């Protein structure tokens, strides 16, 4: 039988249009209401099984009641906020112009308008005055005064019969003169009265805005959970219609194509058998189709907080190496090495515990807090190894390093970070070699193997030149380097003669980049030393304590941000580039809208 894609009937297309239009209206009303944390709507479950047509009728009735109220309040708020922004300018202008206007003016027959010009254009103002006198046959008055304190601008009040308003406006327009026009509700009245009303209006607006906010919050408490439920249900019905064209059908069969996590395949088969019977057949995709499969992380609980950090870069391709467990191992260690202080680590740990509890409903912030919690635990551990508690304060309390004092043994710290960097890079190259073997990629296999051989030769040369190995190994090391470099040049193709040596130099640069771990750690140590030293230099104990607290607080802030950023950089740039294959599409299961339980 010929299999074809399912098509939507005219009725389904019409239903979809109605659903889309209604969910847009619901979202518009939700956007106009202030977001307030509320409990989910208790009656949600009673509507999940109802048909979409019935849901549409209920939602339409709710919107007919709610939308006009929301629109009225929003319009009133916008008008008040606009007045709150514009009226102070009119108040300032009137306050400066008022002394220039004669007290006795019959406004029933005369128009009063204000203009201002720069002092250097005073001659132009004189010319306009003469033209006004001609247009009004002398029935006008032009009063000029200084507008600004620096006397750079002049203000002019024009008084003329109302019958000449149109001709005067045309004259001012031709001369590009800007008039100070009051809003309609304050126009056509004495300036002193307009100024008084504007001031009264400015005093009343904050109270009116507060009243509107109270009414909006009342609507939110009553309607927001219900609206979020309608939004989720309508989106679910839309998704059910939109997914239909992805199905196939013949005269006697119905075909659904999709992806499911392998560990849930048995659960899916059991559910389908229970609902439909034994007439359902599950067929695995043919070889090669796995490359089109979406990606879903599946890591232990301690590793999951690091998944968003990997996702910031890009998801790995399907069946490629997931670097999340490796990041979960190395990133906290790098963080701990850079902070390396018991006191700083304890404070960061306490802050992250608070942030995790405070923002536990926000996945990204919760994950970042958990990552820094693990890193701060390593910071406390390295603080004991380095003998640091708020810098040198631990030394005065009898604390001694269990390993070495990094503030005084800088060379040892540099060697440690270089060793970590070399091991990290070698691990990345090894993973890249393994990926090449799995994918049967001869080009990548030669490149990674040659890079590893060249790097091993460089390690041997460094050990020989620093007298860690006898000079009898010099010739084999040089030969090994030449062999590795030759293979690397061959694997890189026509440009390999230039790219091969450059790749090797870049690799050395990658290892040297790990010195930033030592540099940031030393900067933290020395800043803590300065804080403690300044506190001791000041004669007043209270002032010294304040100075020390401020410097240590700055060090803690830097210790939270800089090590995090630099640890991520070392992974993204130096480590991942050796093996990571990005380009995976996220797995988005067909399921109910998650917003049903996120009523905020």
Q: What angle do CA 478, 479, 481 make, to 5 degrees?
A: 65
Least confident of 160-164, 230-234, 405-409: 160-164
Pairing of strands 110-118, 153-161: antiparallel
Confidence class for position 346, pLDDT limits 50, 70, 90: very high
Measured from the Cβ of residue 44, the count of other Cβ atoms closer than 10 Å reads: 18
User: Which of these, 526, 516, 574, lies nearest to 334 by C-alpha position?
Assistant: 516
Mean pLDDT of the residues in the chain: 83
Confidence class for position 348, pLDDT limits 50, 70, 90: very high
pLDDT at 242 over 60: yes
Query: What is the distance between the alpha carbons of residues 237 and 124, in angstroms, rounded to a whole number?
Result: 69
Give the chain's radius of gyration (CA, Å). 37
Structural domain boundaries in the chain: 7-76+205-248, 106-189, 258-292, 304-440+513-578
**What are the structure tokens assigned to 500, written together?**
């091969």
pLDDT for 178 = 65
Task: Read off the pLDDT of residues 499-556 as tens digits, 9 standing for 90 and up.
Answer: 778 888 888 899 999 999 999 999 999 988 888 887 777 667 777 788 888 888 888 9
> What pTM, to 2 d.p., does this model score?
0.69
Percent of the chain with pLDDT over 70: 86
pLDDT at 104 over 50: no
pLDDT at 1 over 50: no
Return the axis-axis angle of helices 10-32 and 191-242, rounded to nearest 10°: 140
User: Which of these, 559, 297, 322, 287, lies nearest to 431 by C-alpha position?
Assistant: 322
User: Which of these, 218, 232, 286, lies nearest to 52 by C-alpha position?
Assistant: 232
| Domain at 106-189: CATH code | 3.30.70.2750
């Amino acid at each position: 039988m010929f299999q074809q894609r399912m098509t939507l009937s005219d009725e389904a297309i019409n239903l979809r249009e109605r659903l889309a239009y209604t969910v847009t209206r619901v979202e518009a009303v939700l956007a106009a209401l202030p977001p307030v944390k509320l409990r989910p709507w208790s009656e949600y479950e009673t509507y999940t099984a109802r048909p979409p047509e019935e849901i549409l009728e209920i939602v339409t009735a709710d919107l007919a009641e709610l939308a006009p109220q929301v629109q009225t309040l929003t319009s009133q708020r916008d008008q008040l906020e606009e007045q709150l922004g514009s009226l102070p300018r009119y108040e300032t202008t009137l306050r400066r112009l008022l002394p220039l206007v004669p007290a006795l003016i019959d406004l029933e027959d005369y128009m009063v308008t204000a203009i201002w010009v720069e002092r250097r254009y005073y001659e132009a103002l004189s010319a306009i005055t003469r033209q006004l006198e001609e247009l009004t046959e002398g029935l006008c008055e032009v009063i000029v005064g200084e507008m600004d304190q620096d006397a750079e601008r002049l203000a002019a009040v024009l008084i003329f019969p109302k019958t000449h308003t149109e001709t005067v406006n045309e004259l001012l327009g031709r001369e590009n003169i800007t008039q100070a026009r009051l809003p309609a509700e304050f126009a056509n009245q004495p300036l002193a009265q307009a100024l008084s009303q504007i001031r009264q209006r400015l005093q009343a607006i904050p109270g009116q805005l507060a009243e509107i906010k109270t009414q909006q919050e009342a609507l939110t408490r009553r309607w927001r959970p219900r609206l979020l439920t309608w939004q989720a249900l309508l989106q679910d019905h839309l998704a059910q219609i939109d997914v239909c064209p992805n199905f196939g059908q013949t005269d006697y069969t119905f075909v659904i194509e999709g992806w499911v996590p392998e560990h849930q395949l048995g659960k899916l088969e059991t559910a389908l058998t229970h609902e439909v019977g034994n007439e359902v057949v599950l067929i695995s995709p043919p070889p090669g189709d796995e490359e089109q499969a979406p990606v879903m992380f599946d890591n232990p609980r301690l590793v999951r907080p690091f998944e968003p950090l990997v996702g910031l870069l890009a998801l790995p391709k399907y069946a490629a190496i997931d670097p999340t467990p490796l990041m979960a191992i190395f990133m906290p260690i790098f963080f701990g090495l850079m902070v390396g202080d018991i006191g700083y680590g304890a404070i960061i740990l306490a802050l992250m515990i608070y942030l995790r509890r405070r923002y536990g409903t926000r996945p990204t912030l919760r994950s970042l807090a958990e990552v820094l919690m693990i890193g701060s635990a390593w910071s406390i551990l390295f603080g004991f190894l380095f003998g640091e508690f708020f810098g040198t304060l631990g030394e005065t309390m009898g604390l001694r390093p269990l390993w070495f004092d990094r503030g005084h043994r800088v060379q040892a710290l540099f060697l440690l970070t270089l060793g970590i960097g070399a091991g990290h890079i070698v691990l990345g190259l090894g993973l890249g070699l393994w990926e090449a073997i799995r994918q049967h990629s001869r080009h990548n296999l030669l490149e990674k193997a040659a890079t590893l051989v060249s790097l091993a030769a460089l390690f041997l040369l460094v050990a020989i030149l620093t007298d860690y190995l006898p000079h009898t190994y010099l010739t084999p090391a040089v030969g090994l380097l030449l062999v590795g470099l030759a293979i690397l040049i061959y694997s890189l193709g026509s440009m390999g003669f230039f790219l091969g040596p450059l790749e090797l130099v870049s690799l050395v640069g990658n290892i040297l980049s790990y010195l930033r771990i030592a540099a940031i750690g030393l900067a933290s140590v020395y800043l803590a030393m300065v804080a403690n030293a300044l506190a001791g230099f000041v004669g007043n104990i209270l002032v010294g304590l304040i100075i020390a607290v401020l410097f240590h607080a700055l060090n803690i802030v830097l210790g939270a941000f800089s090590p995090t950023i630099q640890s991520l950089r070392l992974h993204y740039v130096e480590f991942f580039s050796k093996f990571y294959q990005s380009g995976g599409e996220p797995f988005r299961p067909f399921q109910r809208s998650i917003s049903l339980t996120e009523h905020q």
